[in-house]
Amino acid sequence: MNEERVLALAGLFQATALAQQLANDGRCDETAFEASLGSVFRIDAASVAGVYGDVAGVRLGLRKLISQLDETGRDMGITRMAVTVMRLERSLARHNQLLNDLQQGIVSAQRQVEHFGQNSPQVIKRLAELYVSTLSTLKPRVMVTGNPQQLQQPNVVEKVRTSLLAAVRSAVLWRQIGGRQWQLLLYRRQCSMLARGLLTGATLDNG
């Protein structure tokens, strides 16, 4: 396990935590959402940290990852979602046409970013639609449970789906840099220590 893989994992846990925050409360950590949303478009970043802007972009994800690994305040809903997203990424890798559709859709959404801005409702709606037309057609389906009143709000549902798209982006990244699910069991302690070091560094750098 190395720092890059821990960052990609933090990106995955952050995006699933955001989906859950939104489903429960109708709102989420906006700074974290912005970083996760940005990761969808940073396909050619020079480093893993660069995918999220910098290490501080996944502070929420590092905190969630540490609590899952140390079993202190562990949230099984987020863990289940993260594991399902990892399996969904493997399923996506076997469907070349869907992968191509997804990449084309992100390029097209990027043009909307230039026009409306990354956090605009138009961009979030576009990415949510892309998630529905590609990833939600595959098995396993990512199940998000929460407050039924919040999950009836179209803008909340769009942000949940956009967060799940960002989660898949991190799962793809994790796989690309050699991440495998069994490493989470085998290198749990090492992963937690690395995550703590990264979180401390990000906090010191950002005050």
Sequence ranges of the domains in the chain: 3-206
d(CA 50, CA 132): 27
List, for residues 109-156, the tens digit of each pLDDT value: 999 999 999 999 999 999 999 999 999 999 999 999 999 999 999 999
* Closest among 148, 114, 144 to 128, alpha carbons compared: 144
User: Measured between alpha carbons, how far is 61 from 65 in angstroms, rounded to an integer?
Assistant: 6
Q: Is the pLDDT of residue 205 over 80?
A: no
In whole angstroms, what is the distance from residue 30 CA to residue 28 CA?
Answer: 6
Q: Which CATH class is domain 3-206?
A: mainly alpha
Spatial separation of the C-alpha atoms in residues 102 and 112, rounded to whole Å: 15
pLDDT in tens, 13-69: 999 999 999 999 999 999 999 999 999 999 889 999 999 999 999 999 999 999 998
**What is the number of other CB atoms lying within 10 angstroms of the CB of residue 187?**
17
